Amino acid sequence: MEYVNPLTGFRLDGRRPNEMRQIRGEIGVVAKADGSALFEMGNTKVIAAVYGPREVQNKGQQINNRALVRCEYSMANFSTGDRRRRPKGDRRSTEISLVIRQTMEACILTHLLPHSQIDIFVQVLQADGGTRSACINAATLALADAGIPMRDIVTSCSAGYLCSTPLLDLNYIEDSAGGPDVTVGMLAKMDKVTLLQMDAKLPMDIFENVMQLAIEGCKAVAHYIREVLLEHTKQLECHRGA
Amino acid sequence: MVGLSTGEKRFIHGGIAQDLRSDGRKRLHFRPFCVETGVIPQANGSARVRLGATDVIVSIKAELGKPSSFQPDKGKVAIFVDCSPTAAPEFEGRGGEELSSELSFALERCFLGGKTGAGAGIDLSSLIIVEGKVCWDLYIDGLVVSSDGNLLDALAAAIKVALSNTGIPKVNVDLGPSPDDQPEVDVSDEEFLQFDTSGVPVVVTLTKVGRHYIVDATLEEESQMSSAVSVSVNRHGHICGLTKRGGAGLDPSVILDMISVAKHVSQNLISVLDSEIAAAEANAKE
Amino acid sequence: MRDLQLSLNQTQRVRLQVALQQLQDLASQAAASSSVTIADTIPVNNEDGILKGHGTSELDGQVVATLCGVVERVNKLVYVRALRARYKPEVGDIIVGRVIEIAFKRWRLEINFSQDAVLMLSSMNLPDGIQRRRTAVDELNMRSIFEENDVICAEVRGFQHDGSLHLQARSQKYGKLERGQLLTVPAYLVKRRKQHFHHLEQYGVDLILGCNGFVWVGEHLKTGEHDMLDDQERRPEISKSNKIDDEEQEWTFTPLEVRHHICRIANAVRLLSALGFILTVEAIIDTTEAGFSSNIEIKDMLGPEFYVQIVEREVQRRISLLRKKG
């Protein structure tokens, strides 16, 4: 299958190899949550809701010097192309919940909120590749919306290598092609990588290129997220008045 | 779920008794509906309905399947509802399962009729392709994104809107030489048949608080209910399904009265939904 | 807007766009330029002794923001004022909370903070009004003062060692709130003022703007009326009325006239908080009066037409405020 057209260099959906899909973020989609956001990367659509910081519900889990961060990832039955009934707590969901929790925990300033609990719930509405990344981006927006102090904006993007070309932001078809899939999560301003996952195999020098491409994608997403947050903050302040 | 103090409970009871609820509505007023269609592009039909802070999404997917041997001339429909943890931290893990199954069964009762398929709100015989061999399986999946009471009515409205947005692909059937052969079905990618939704009912839930019933209860009002009756009514005023929840016993005359009130309210609801559907489709075309 | 879902028709949409644009133009330039998001560098003139306050941290010798908000400078202190966030308590704040649990000699209240707050039995007036040491009998009778899910008005006394709050409710104006409804608004919309208790005489309604974002709108009770003695008289009635006989209950219901006002004011609060306008008594009364004069039904105060009207009114108000200043 020609994932990259040898003549034009375009991918199956008409993008160039180093072009990301269209991204869109919206803040405040769940009224009852402390913070919430919708994030779209192409056809992948994810809602994140944050409840907290609030009193720890299960005293046994309380941590005395920092906040307890919990995360749950769920996919809707209709989220994938072939509709499948998803049991709760299956292994993939548990793994992704863990990954998102660790990534967000690394950037939340938990020591400022001792004896409290922060719940992050991520719901996938449509999955078209890059769900992990979309979830992290949505969670960042939701945490910022909830006013939770963070050391930096965490963003995530994926990249792969098909037909001898590094490709940025794989969609589902490209992801299931059997080639490598590198997901990177990074703290944008501090320029530090906090999440790095890869499957399949890649020679080291090509891996560096692909990872660098994913990092560029993360930076582009961070730029967009920062604009969305700034715009939202200005609007809130302007409405509030003196 | 936040509890209520005795004073607040009294206030809610008093409001319902005096026909002035906490947000100014009368007993039989719905909150404004906000309807969007086509929110899940990869599904055959989808809709999102917002009723106050209640937010639900319904998606409808059609897949090829085999009709059951009991009803070889009808297609199959399955309804599943999922409560997302984004709606409330209590729905985390398996916390939302009880509510999800309750809603799924109530909706199946309202839309799908009895075990023989008799009296179904959705016309199942329109889903058959080759009798006894090939039919459409419709999977109706609901997702509760945010909850502020009255989930059943919101989901039923979303199902009605999603069905009006559903396009079943046209199929070309090649029957094969002998009658025992499995027919070849070619699913068209481009041509779609709009699903016929004239018989699809709406659900009106009447929540009894004290001596009066209210329509479209918020979470706080629902916590005060003694019992609730959900009635599914279609355009012709026929009742397609009935569910009673809550432990308190009801006098049969009260139930009959609630049913007639529900019928009366449903006609207005159907016209509101129809105009919202038309507006949403007009918006989608822009 | 996050909380109200509205279907606006074409004219309303246009009017809303125009009004929102005007609000933006009116907003001071200074406010817009000092908005920051997470990890933005806050410009400091490299003065010595800059105090880094809430919402800031240091990175490579630069001051960066850890929250999205507006940078405020007070003398040598630089901090970021967050907008949508949980309540940030200060000693002396008047708050409204809900009892979650009765524990050993204390009540735990939920107050929209990162932890639950504590109201000690010793910080609460006893039903008989006598100042004395609390005995074991008092501890057992705590439920007769406040029970689970009660809504209470209290004042922040201080912070505990683990960061949670201590409350006190010793004055007559604090205590249990009944006969009304509790609304939740974002805490940043309630400004700290001298007065948080408002008795709106023209409506017969009590309005309490808790600094933590819990707003109480209820029937007016003379101070001291909502204290414990009255409740103990009512208690036997409550157990009787649990047999659900509404005829007997009706005389304890809030009169319809007052209820009208309570619902109008509550809807005004809901509308203003959905719009993100700061909640002051004047703004709430103004919105309620606008509702009266437009002659719209109470439930339509949350509808599209009134929504657009209120935005337009706010624009006019800010324009006239600017004129008075400049």
* Confidence band for C263, pLDDT divided at 50, 70 and 90: very high
Q: Would C41 be classed as within a structural domain?
A: yes
How confident is the model at residue B114, as a pLDDT? 67
Interface test with B, best of A38, A75, A83, A126 (most B CBs within 10 A): A83
Nearest to C62 by CA among C75, C74, C78, C76: C78
Q: Give the separation between CA A120 and CA A136, rounded to whole angstroms.
A: 10
- Which chain B residues are Cβ-neighbours of C270 within 8 angstroms? 23
Model pLDDT for residues A31-61, shown as the tens digit of each residue: 899 999 999 999 999 999 999 899 998 888 8
Contact A107, C38 (CB under 8 A): no
User: What tens digit of pLDDT does each residue of B65-115 get?
Assistant: 888 888 888 888 899 999 999 999 999 888 889 999 999 999 988 888 766
Residue C236 is predicted with a pLDDT of 42
Q: Which two tokens stand for residue C161?
A: 């060692």
Helix (H, G, I), strand (E, B) or coil at B184: strand
**Kind plus residue range of the DSSP H or E element containing B140:** strand B134-146
Whether B120 shows a pLDDT value over 90: the answer reads no
Q: Record the tokens describing residue B50, joined without a space.
A: 């917002």
pLDDT, mean of residues B221-231: 90
Out of A77-81, A182-186, B19-23, the most confident range is: A182-186
Q: Which percentage of chain A shows pLDDT scores above 70?
A: 100
Interstrand relation of C51-52 and C77-82 (parallel, antiparallel or unpaired)? parallel
Q: Cβ separation of B8 and C182 shorter than 8 Å?
A: yes
Q: Strand pairing partners for B140?
A: B60, B79
pLDDT level of residue B187 (50, 70, 90 thresholds): confident
Task: For A112-152, write each residue's pLDDT tens digit.
Answer: 998 999 999 999 999 998 999 999 999 999 999 999 999 99
Residue A172 has pLDDT above 60, yes or no: yes
Question: Measured between CB atoms, which of A51, A78, A121 is closest to B141?
Answer: A78
B143 — contact with chain A (CB < 8 Å)? yes
**Coil, helix or strand for C2?**
coil
Assigned CATH topology for domain B17-285:
Ribosomal Protein S5; domain 2 (3.30.230)
Say if A64 falls within a structural domain: yes
- Tens digit of pLDDT for each residue in C171-209? 888 888 988 999 999 999 998 888 899 998 888 899 999
Distances (CA, A) of B253 to B205, B249, B250, B256: 17, 12, 8, 5
Tell me the shortest Cα–Cα distance from B21 to chain C, in angstroms: 8
Alpha-carbon gap, residue A96 to A74, rounded angstroms: 9
**Contact: B85, A72; criterion CB under 8 Å:** yes
Report the CATH number that the domain containing residue C47 is assigned in CATH. Answer: 2.40.50.100
Report the alpha-carbon distance of residue C20 to residue A211 in Å, rounded: 43
The pLDDT of residue C239 is 42
User: What is the domain count for chain C?
Assistant: 1
In a domain, C323, yes or no: no
Residue A102 domain-assigned? yes
What pLDDT is recorded for position A135?
Answer: 96
Closest CA to A113 of C186, B204, C115: C115
* φ/ψ of residue B47, rounded to 5: -155, 155
Tokens for C70, please give them.
């507006």
pLDDT at C243 over 50: no
Structure tokens at C77: 């202190």
Asked whether residue C104 is domain-assigned, the answer is: no
Residue C1 pLDDT exceeds 70: no
C204-233 residues touching A, CB cutoff 8 A: none
Q: Across the beta sheet with C41-42, what order do the strands follow?
A: C41-42, C62-65, C56-59
Q: How many domains does chain A have?
A: 1
- Higher pLDDT: B134 or A102? It is A102
Alpha helices in chain C (DSSP H): 10-26, 29-33, 136-140, 142-145, 228-241, 246-249, 256-275, 281-293, 304-325
Q: Is B143 a residue whose pLDDT tops 70?
A: yes
**Confidence bin at C251 (pLDDT 50/70/90):** low
- Domain contains A92: yes
Choice among B14-18, B115-119, C20-24 with the minimum mean pLDDT? B115-119
Contact C28, C321 (CB under 8 A): no
Q: Which residue has the tokens 């559907």?
A: B277
Cβ-Cβ contacts under 8 Å between A and C: the total is 125
- pLDDT digits over C152-178, tens only? 999 999 998 888 899 998 888 888 898
Range of the domain at C62: 36-83
Token pair, residue A142, equals 């939701």
Chain A CB contacts of C162 below 8 Å: 64, 114-115
Assigned token pair, B94 = 């398996």
0.85 surpassed by complex ipTM: yes
Supply the range of the domain harboring residue A45. 23-240
Average pLDDT, chain A: 91
Which of B5, B21, B26 is the closest to C149 by Cβ?
Answer: B5
Residue C297 lies in a domain: no
Strand order in the sheet with C51-52: C35-36, C69-74, C77-82, C51-52
Q: Is B253 exposed, middle or buried (0-12, 13-18, 19+ CB in 10 A)?
A: exposed
**Euclidean distance between CA atoms C119 and A129, whole angstroms:** 51
